[in-house]
Amino acid sequence: MASQKFITRPLGFIATSLILSYAGLSASYAAQLHPMGAIPPKQIKAASIPNGSFAAPLPTQVDLTPWTIEVGDQGSIGSCVAWTIAHSMLGWYANRTGRAESHFSPMFMYSQINHGVDQGSKPVDGFNLAISLGSDTEADYYQGNYNWYTLPTSAEFDNASRHRIGVSRQLFAGAAGSNGINAIKLALANSQPVAISFSVRPGFDALKPGNSLDSDTTGTIRGYHAVLAVGYDSSGLVIQNSWGTQWGANGFGKLSWQVVSQDVIEANVIDSAFTVNGGGNGQCPSMAGGYLQTTAGLVPGEKDFYNLKRSQLMTSYPSGRYVGGDGLSAVGSASDGQVSSRTWRPEFCTAGGVTACGMASAQTIQYTCQKGVWKFQ
């Protein structure tokens, strides 16, 4: 990457995420508040559920917490978006895929998407940066976790370029409603943690051990916050926050489904994580198996194959329909030049209707690891 000037931004800006006394909130309550920093989306986008996604019932509960990184603390900075994406989300994917580097710098991201002031940021800007420039590691980023005004150095840009993500996707923008809830559940069931933005009310601020479920849908909204959704059950959505381990249940909490429906205003996922390996040795990450609903994020060449399979099935069974999901096996990590295989089973309904849906014959596909990226053969 071209050399970047080392720029120091002036202090003196007052962040909107600092603790203030809002209308309708008491001074004692305001004194206990944590910072936020999520800028709401300006354009509304309805949740879109792929056809056939619910041919099989969604799991009643999903738990992705075994791969979470330790809870972060954004301190007094309005950097929740960067902590959610760079620290929590990328840390989750690093742990899930067994990468050597798993701690990524929130300030590498936030310093570039806050437009020179500590007044929060937009999730879309964070994801775009993670795709185009990557994410520097905490160990490499000398400015630390709270310097929001100093831009990265050329060396930090170079190191970040080794940790780029491939594809991100906005699930919806605007009040979640039932479709938004289903979109979040579907992503989590597909082993994709979800970065959400939502309205913060007193009930969320008050979460603590023994009281980690937020059901507040009527309290005064004091702003917008970003967290990472890492599971769900019948009572609500499990989230990892960036307010340290003293908040909630060791830094985790749960939003009731009523809160999710009403107050969650944006949700984003990563469809393809870490297209370039951070170890510098060409090691390709493992690819998780599961139930695939879309072609987004597939490795080069897979999408054409995926669409070809649909066409062939429709030709063989003109009165049938493609359900829209594929079962696929996992692939372990590999070194440069190694070949691995993956098994695909397209789900397809014949003329008998939904009750006749089944998995078509398995097909084994080979991949080659080339400079840290899986290539479809």
List, for residues 310-325, the tens digit of each pLDDT value: 666 666 655 555 555 5
Q: How far is CA 330 from the centre of its chain?
A: 20
Instruction: Say if residue 51's pLDDT is above 70.
Output: no
The reported pLDDT for the residue numbered 326 is 61
Instruction: Give the other-Cβ count within 10 Å of 226's Cβ.
Output: 30
Q: Which of 11-15, 23-27, 220-224, 259-263 has the lowest mean pLDDT?
A: 11-15
- Residue 218: φ, ψ to 5°: -125, -15
Q: What are 274-286's pLDDT values in tens digits?
A: 764 433 345 676 6
Tokens 């120091």 map to which residue? 8
Bridge partners for 56 per DSSP: none
Share of the chain above pLDDT 70, in %: 68
| Section 270-299 average pLDDT | 61
Instruction: Say if residue 48's pLDDT is above 90.
Output: no
Domains of the chain listed by start with CATH number: 27-272 (3.90.70.10), 290-376 (no CATH)
pLDDT band at 90 (very low <50, low <70, confident <90, very high): very high
Q: Which residue has the higher pLDDT, 94 or 20?
A: 94
The reported pLDDT for the residue numbered 19 is 37
Q: Which residue has the higher pLDDT, 104 or 311?
A: 104
pLDDT band at 357 (very low <50, low <70, confident <90, very high): low
Residue 344 host element (H or E): strand 339-349
Give the separation between CA 46 and CA 178, rounded to whole angstroms. 11
Please provide the DSSP assignment of 292-315 as one string: E---TTPPTTHHHHHHHHHHHHHH
The token pair at 222 is 């004091």
The token pair at 97 is 């895929």
The reported pLDDT for the residue numbered 338 is 78
The token pair at 5 is 């000037």
| Section 292-314 average pLDDT | 62
Torsion, Cα 20 26 31 36, to 10 degrees, reads -50
Q: How far is CA 244 from CA 72, 75, 135, 299, 326, in A?
A: 6, 8, 22, 36, 39
pTM above 0.85, yes or no: no
Give the separation between CA 229 and CA 226, rounded to whole angstroms. 10
